[in-house]
Amino acid sequence: MYSRLPSRRAFLQTLATGAAASVIPGLAHAQAPSLTTTALTDTIHVVMGDGGNIGAVRGPDGLLLIDGGYANQTSDLQHFLIEKVDARKVQILFNTHWHGDHVGSNVSLGGNGVRIIAQMETKKWLSQKVNMEVFHRTVDPLDPSGIPGEVFDQGGMMNFGNERIQYRHVPFAHTSGDVYFFFRHANILQTGDLFFNGMYPVIDYSTGGWIGGMAHALDVLVKVGNKETRIVPGHGPIGTKDDMRAAQDMLHSVAGRLDGFASRGASLEEVVAAKPTADFDAHFGKGFLKPEAFLAMAYPSIARHNKKS
Ligand SMILES: [Zn+2]
């Protein structure tokens, strides 16, 4: 008799908890099932979710993040990091560029006193209203708590834990303020959106991006590290130098063809009808951007860039 009482109480508690979980939306998904992580070394993890890829580096006193995903995944991300990577707090957050699928944790982490570091162009775009034409969307300035408190121009070097992290600005490619990060000891390159692995890239011509710059960025990036370097792209799976060379070849080829159309003043409709990406579509056209959507960014980006320079 006595021994049955606790088990009955436990049963009722289970019932109550189960009932609560079924009526409170989201409670049953508190473990962020959409996020996954890959350990590249003992101290460097990649977290992948709906937004851009996130680098998480463990140091002696806490974490350094490179990018922070979407804002609506911020609390999921923080729980996920505690559970799967390191329970200590985030100390430093780098932004690779200003887009919302990469800077979504800025406001939450910045509000908690985390150092946010970015290239000065990224701070500029985050501080103002931007008409992002490629997505027909106006993006409001970020809350001041999420604006990077430290900026740099060309790049720099940071020692964090046992890693030496080199970061460099590659202007006018995906935006005007993209930065890549190279972990010298681990031989890992995190590219932000300078490199989309296995898919056509977004080119944000409203904030300084253009297809010639994207092609040039990969000329720079293929020379970083060596042939063993592991590459964390902005979007897509972890890749190799061969993956990067395939994207480099595609971007140079397509940029050359689009230049030809631009020099004779062809319309976007004419360009799309001519299918100038046809030989690359099987490899790159099955991702986020279909060929027409890619051309609708890449082709106008040339005229926009030429007007500026
Ligand atoms: Zn982006």
How much of the chain is in helix, strand and coil states, percent to nearest 5?
40, 20, 35
100 Cα to the center of ligand 1, angstroms: 8
Predicted confidence band of residue 33 (pLDDT cuts 50, 70, 90): low
pLDDT of residue 82: 94
pLDDT of residue 37: 95
pLDDT per residue as tens digits for the range 226-280: 999 999 999 999 999 999 999 999 999 999 999 999 999 999 999 999 999 999 9
User: 14 vs 273, which has greater pLDDT?
Assistant: 273
User: Pairing state of beta strands 54-58 and 63-66?
Assistant: antiparallel
* Mean residue pLDDT across the chain: 90
Report how far apart, in Å, the C-alpha atoms of 122 and of each of 50, 141, 174, 244 are: 21, 12, 12, 24
103 Cα to the center of ligand 1, angstroms: 10
177 Cα to the center of ligand 1, angstroms: 10
pLDDT per residue as tens digits for the range 186-230: 999 999 999 999 999 999 999 999 999 999 999 999 999 999 999
pLDDT of residue 13: 38
pLDDT of residue 1: 34
153 Cα to the center of ligand 1, angstroms: 19
φ, ψ of residue 128 to 5 degrees: the values are -135, 165
77 Cα to the center of ligand 1, angstroms: 19
202 Cα to the center of ligand 1, angstroms: 7
1 Cα to the center of ligand 1, angstroms: 65
Q: Indicate whether 3 pLDDT > 70.
A: no
Distance (Å, rounded) from C-alpha 198 to C-alpha 214?
Answer: 15
167 Cα to the center of ligand 1, angstroms: 17
41 Cα to the center of ligand 1, angstroms: 26
pLDDT of residue 309: 67
pLDDT of residue 272: 98
pLDDT of residue 72: 93
Report how far apart, in Å, the C-alpha atoms of 78 and of each of 11, 99, 117, 160 are: 32, 20, 19, 20
pLDDT of residue 308: 77
3 Cα to the center of ligand 1, angstroms: 61
Give the mean model confidence (pLDDT) for residues 136-150: 97
113 Cα to the center of ligand 1, angstroms: 25
Q: Which of 19-33, 103-117, 247-261, 265-279 has the lowest mean pLDDT?
A: 19-33
Helix residue ranges per DSSP H, the chain: 4-23, 74-80, 106-111, 120-126, 211-221, 241-263, 268-273, 281-284, 291-308
109 Cα to the center of ligand 1, angstroms: 20
User: Pairing state of beta strands 150-152 and 155-160?
Assistant: unpaired
98 Cα to the center of ligand 1, angstroms: 7
Distance (Å, rounded) from C-alpha 155 to C-alpha 170?
Answer: 9
6 Cα to the center of ligand 1, angstroms: 55
22 Cα to the center of ligand 1, angstroms: 37
18 Cα to the center of ligand 1, angstroms: 40
209 Cα to the center of ligand 1, angstroms: 10
The CATH class that applies to domain 34-308 reads alpha beta
pLDDT of residue 260: 97
Q: Which long-range contacts (CB under 8 A, 24 or more apart) does 40-46 make?
A: 40/186, 40/188, 40/230, 40/232, 40/238, 41/186, 41/188, 43/161, 43/162, 43/163, 43/186, 44/163, 44/183, 44/186, 44/188, 45/84, 45/85, 46/232, 46/238
Q: Indicate whether 156 pLDDT > 60.
A: yes
pLDDT of residue 184: 96
159 Cα to the center of ligand 1, angstroms: 26
Angle at 141 between CA 136 and CA 146, to 5 degrees: 130
Domain ranges of the chain: 34-308
Q: Which of 17-31, 119-133, 134-148, 254-268 has the lowest mean pLDDT?
A: 17-31
Task: Name the region of 187 (left: φ>0; alpha: ψ -120 to 50; beta: rest).
Answer: left
Residue 308 CB partners (closer than 8 Å, separation 6+): none
Q: Indicate whether 6 pLDDT > 50.
A: no
90 Cα to the center of ligand 1, angstroms: 23
13 Cα to the center of ligand 1, angstroms: 47
Predicted confidence band of residue 171 (pLDDT cuts 50, 70, 90): very high
Q: Which of 138, 148, 139, 140 is nearest to 177 (CA)?
A: 148
Predicted confidence band of residue 284 (pLDDT cuts 50, 70, 90): very high
